[in-house]
Structure 1
């Protein structure tokens, strides 16, 4: 058991009990289905009212079936998913150690934080022209732009998680004879893991948000490429299919991160 887990599980004798969690009377999956049905119903009503040529759910579903049957949607989704996964992995793999360095070492914070804050003010989309000039029009600039979006979203959250570790936990570990290496591995890392997961979730959203613009760089396949190609011909059903596919893939990946968070931070009280 880590230091953070031990302190998190320990409670003073005679302390007041935590308030009971207010659980919804209706199961959450049922609420999700109700919300989904309501959203689709509203969409169908707006389409039926002729709002700016908005395609209805049935029309979009038929277009999606066609794109699935000829393999176009699968190929595009696979290409985009590959780019997002690689860019996200590269961005977070760099963001986590940089965030730890900034939070644990004052010298590293002084050297790195100004640059991190500087690049955070520059949207990753603004890097696209520079990426094309420096890296060409292959896969590399796409991955760099996506990875940059994930990195900038995750590094600050990791940094905040490290500096936000309760000093009581660190002092208690020192009293028990732990050195800096043990404190970092057994206290700081577990205590900051919720912040890291949150940063990864935000970084994942940034990676998907950057995808469409990244696929402007001479892409021949991908959901963003397909949506931009459909825009030329005012093919709204195809654009909706792309949007829904991105949303579903992003939601599934986010749920995987949530499952990892529950497994890694089971010691943490949650509502």
Structure 2
């Protein structure tokens, strides 16, 4: 019963949004031709999924996001750790990180095409860029706030370098890694459509762009909702993983 109640509360905001969607459409505030009703949008998603081509588009987009996120976080975690741990490195690198973080990935599309072509590498590289700089900021900001007292105490108690790393540093770092991954995932999904501007023949972003060329608002909304749905699902999985890996923090707090 509790799980059913929790599911209902999680579903309620979406029900409210759909109700507001219908309300705005029927109110006359917006031309009905410019705001397709939700049932037609969901019917479009269903029809495209049944035809099979949309599933390929979804898979290509999810694959690009996962690759960009994976490569971005593989670099962001050690770089963020070093910057956050060493004040001298942070003082030197921080302006550079913030400079590139402020550059929108869409501005790099011409350079990506010039240097990497129009294939998958260019698309993944743009997502890598977005994931890395968003992840590394969260990572090193979290690490810079870590209390070094834990390490000094463990040294005093005779802990070896490996024991300090495995039992102190890793547990303290893991929450920042998971938080940085969640932030990078959101930014990667937000950058997806921009990455698929690079001559993409498939992908959710390509579906949205093709639909915009024919002013097919129903399909545009369908693509937007699909991106939001899969971004939410992946974030939910990461939150579940966070609860599993960080259960020790809750026990300590109790």
Q: Of the candidates 32, 56, 65, which is equivalent to residue 37 of structure 2?
A: 56
| Aligned partners of 1:170 and 1:183 also within 8 Å | yes
Q: Residue 132 of structure 1 corresponds to which residue in structure 2?
A: 113
Q: Residue 200 of structure 2 corresponds to which residue in structure 1?
A: 219
Q: Residue 197 of structure 1 corresponds to which residue in structure 2?
A: 178
Task: Determine the C-alpha separation between the residues in 2 that align with 1:125 and 1:189.
Answer: 35
* TM-score (ref. length: structure 1): 0.85
Q: Deviations over 1:133-188 (max 9, x none)?
A: 11111111110100110111111211122221223312221111124443233212
Q: Which has the higher helix share?
A: 2
Which secondary structure state, in structure 1, belongs to the residue aligned with residue 66 of structure 2? helix
Following superposition, which runs of at least 4 residues in structure 1 exceed 6 angstroms of deviation? Answer: none
| Aligned partners of 1:165 and 1:188 also within 8 Å | no
| Aligned pairs (5 A) from 1:52-91 | 52=31, 53-91=34-72
Task: Determine the C-alpha separation between the residues in 1 that align with 2:157 and 2:195.
Answer: 51
| Aligned partners of 1:88 and 1:203 also within 8 Å | yes
Which secondary structure state, in structure 2, belongs to the residue aligned with residue 267 of structure 1? helix
Count of aligned pairs: 247
Shift of 1:76: 0.8
* TM-score (ref. length: structure 2): 0.90
Q: Residue 4 of structure 1 corresponds to which residue in structure 2?
A: none
Q: Residue 246 of structure 1 corresponds to which residue in structure 2?
A: 227
| Aligned partners of 2:105 and 2:194 also within 8 Å | no
Q: Which runs of 5+ in 2 are unaligned?
A: none
Q: Which runs of 5+ in 1 are unaligned?
A: 1-23
Q: Of the candidates 23, 36, 41, which is equivalent to residue 45 of structure 1?
A: 23
Q: Deviations over 1:210-262 (max 9, x none)?
A: 11011010100010011011011110110111011111100010011101111
Which secondary structure state, in structure 2, belongs to the residue aligned with residue 200 of structure 1? helix
